[in-house]
Amino acid sequence: MKYRNGVLSAIFGVIQQVLTLIFGLIVPRLFIQTFGSEMNGLLSSLGNIYSYLALVEAGIGTTAIQALYGPLGRDDKRSINQIMAATAHYYNRAGFIYLAGVLLIAIIYPLTVSTTIPSGTIFALTILSGSGGVINFWVQGKYMVLLQAEGKKYLMSIVTTVVYVASNITKIVLLLLGYNVIAIHIGYFIISLLQMIFYYMYMRKGYSWLNLSADPNYEALNQSKAVFVQQIMWMICSNTDILVLTYVAKDLKAVSVYAVYLMIYSAIEKLFSTLFGSFHYLLGQKYNTDKAGYMLLHRVYESLSMYGSFALYTTAFVLITPFMRVYTAGITDTQYIDPYLPFLFTIMHLLSSTREASSRVINFAGHFKQMQWRAVAESAINLAVSVVLVLKLGIYGVLIGTIIAYIYRTNDIIIYANKKVLCQSCWNTYKKVIINTCCFAMVVVISRTIDLTTNGFFNFFIMGIPCGLLICIVYLLVMSIFEKDAFRFIKTSFGKQKWDKEALNMKGIVLAGGAGTRLYPLTMVTST
């Protein structure tokens, strides 16, 4: 049943991301064609600002999910209700703070941004863009925490997909009918309200035992401040670039270029997160109930996630330039084709995805306080380097700043996770990084010898789909050679053979026991 939830989450999540990518390609282009790159840059900048404002959640969601893994694994409804009651209290409070923030931004933002767009339009867009977040905190946020911890991301994906498709169809129709940008955002907001209503009704019917008036367990969420610090720092790292381009470089057209590239790489990042994040609840519950069993899964998860991310981002690197030529054809108010941006964006996202498995186990272990000042250092490096370089290198400067920060932080996370949490050598992780990097370099060199120029979206996809599949096959073959343990585990998980943890312990392969658990090279044991 638990695996079923993960598989369903992955399937519906992929469907969601495919549709997100399709509409993500159509709608921004229509906006640029209709309202210009400046309006697209403004909307991207607003979205970036509200990403920061969402931090009023103060780490409660992440902390609550981590706290719920144990009670859910034991089916302890009393503890679940106590944690959820505390979560609901914090989310209600965050909603009021978020509302105050929306009103403040609506007043200040039109006065500070350098643009020819009327202030009244900016004010209205600011209010409409932030209203959905307020309702999210008050209605659905707490419910989504429980659904994620329980492994029901597939339900969230279905709801999000339906709402996303409906809202984007509405946007397209209103655009084609000649409505202005404010009317389009009103339509989007109205449809978003339906999502809130669904979650409220679903939880009342399907979780009748849920009691948000129970005695709240605030102690279970006592690490939320440390999580909050890390979230702030991560937000600075991941969103600094657009703000620096907006307020330091003062170039909304550069923001538009950045946003179009980011749209593609974010879609891939979300696809990666969907595929592997669908099973986080299994890993989290396993870590909190059976650490020895978790050690078996960690190696496999790290192998699959790293090879998978490299395959996806290598495909993006190879295809991004021919895609941009097709996507931005006819748009002349700024230059979207660039020889260096694909490389910089790819390196940035590869560094981020490389630390995925290590970051995950640190969260499962609850080492939030230990990591908060490391996150501060990452953000400080990113911001300082980006501000210095943006004036000399423009858009390249902000990307280089992020890459330098990621180099530091990725290595820090890998070392900490292996040494402090898993109590093992870092070599297995770095070996995967080296192998995948060599594979990336090989594919890039070969791709440079092939003419990938194409005309029109249809021809691009005819060329791009086989190209992407070929790259994935290359990584799969490399993984089959260097990560045999992962393949054996997958085979036995879906076949007749089983991993016999007791036998593994007897053979000295896995030594169970909390923080001192030590992992040796996996050997498959066939149960009889």
Structure tokens of 503? 């036998």
CB distance 520 to 508 below 8 Å: yes
Residue 216, pLDDT > 50, answer: yes
Range of the domain at 198: 1-222
Question: Counting beta carbons within 10 angstroms of the beta carbon of residue 375, is it exposed (0 to 12), middle (13 to 18) or buried (19 or more)?
Answer: buried
Do both 53 and 68 map to the same domain?
Answer: yes
Residue 510, pLDDT > 60, answer: no
Q: Which helix (H) or strand (E) holds 416?
A: helix 395-416
pTM for the whole structure:
0.66
> Which of 318, 399, 312 is closest to 17 using CA atoms?
312
Count of positions (residues) in the chain: 528
Which is higher by pLDDT, 154 or 437?
Answer: 437
Do both 150 and 260 map to the same domain?
Answer: no
Residue 508, pLDDT > 50, answer: no
Task: Write the pLDDT tens digit of every residue in 246-284.
Answer: 777 667 778 788 888 888 888 888 777 777 766 677 777
In a domain, residue 525? The reply is no
Q: What are phi and psi of 450, to 5 degrees?
A: -115, 135
In a domain, residue 520? The reply is no
- Final residue of a domain: which of 203, 222, 241? 222
CA separation for the pair 279, 112 (Å, rounded): 43
Do both 174 and 241 map to the same domain?
Answer: no
Rg (CA), the chain: 23
Do both 206 and 280 map to the same domain?
Answer: no
Average pLDDT over every residue of 25-53? 79
Cβ count near 215 (within 10 Å): 11
Please state the domain count of the chain. Answer: 2
Task: Write the pLDDT tens digit of every residue in 78-112.
Answer: 888 888 898 888 888 888 888 898 899 888 888 87
pLDDT confidence of 224, banded at 50, 70, 90? low
Do both 116 and 265 map to the same domain?
Answer: no
In 36-152, where does DSSP find H-type helix? 37-53, 60-74, 77-112, 119-135, 141-150
In a domain, residue 511? The reply is no
In a domain, residue 352? The reply is yes
Task: Write the pLDDT tens digit of every residue in 126-144.
Answer: 888 888 888 888 888 888 8
Do both 153 and 276 map to the same domain?
Answer: no
Do both 12 and 101 map to the same domain?
Answer: yes
> Which of 51, 25, 35 is closest to 243 using CA atoms?
51
In a domain, residue 112? The reply is yes
Q: What are phi and psi of 519, to 5 degrees?
A: -105, 130
- Final residue of a domain: which of 222, 250, 270? 222
* Secondary structure of 431-479 in HEC code, one letter for each residue: HHHHHHHHHHHHHHHHHCCCCCCCCHHHHHHHHHHHHHHHHHHHHHHHH
In a domain, residue 387? The reply is yes
Question: Counting beta carbons within 10 angstroms of the beta carbon of residue 311, is it exposed (0 to 12), middle (13 to 18) or buried (19 or more)?
Answer: buried
The average confidence (pLDDT) of the chain is: 80
CB distance 356 to 276 below 8 Å: yes
Average pLDDT over every residue of 3-19? 69
CA separation for the pair 48, 367 (Å, rounded): 28
In a domain, residue 510? The reply is no
Residue 317, pLDDT > 90, answer: yes
Residue with tokens 């309006």: 39
pLDDT confidence of 434, banded at 50, 70, 90? very high
Do both 243 and 211 map to the same domain?
Answer: no
- Final residue of a domain: which of 222, 254, 275? 222
Do both 129 and 173 map to the same domain?
Answer: yes
Do both 298 and 233 map to the same domain?
Answer: yes
In a domain, residue 501? The reply is no
Do both 460 and 360 map to the same domain?
Answer: yes
Do both 209 and 261 map to the same domain?
Answer: no
Average pLDDT over every residue of 149-167? 82
> Which of 94, 150, 473, 135 is closest to 284 using CA atoms?
150
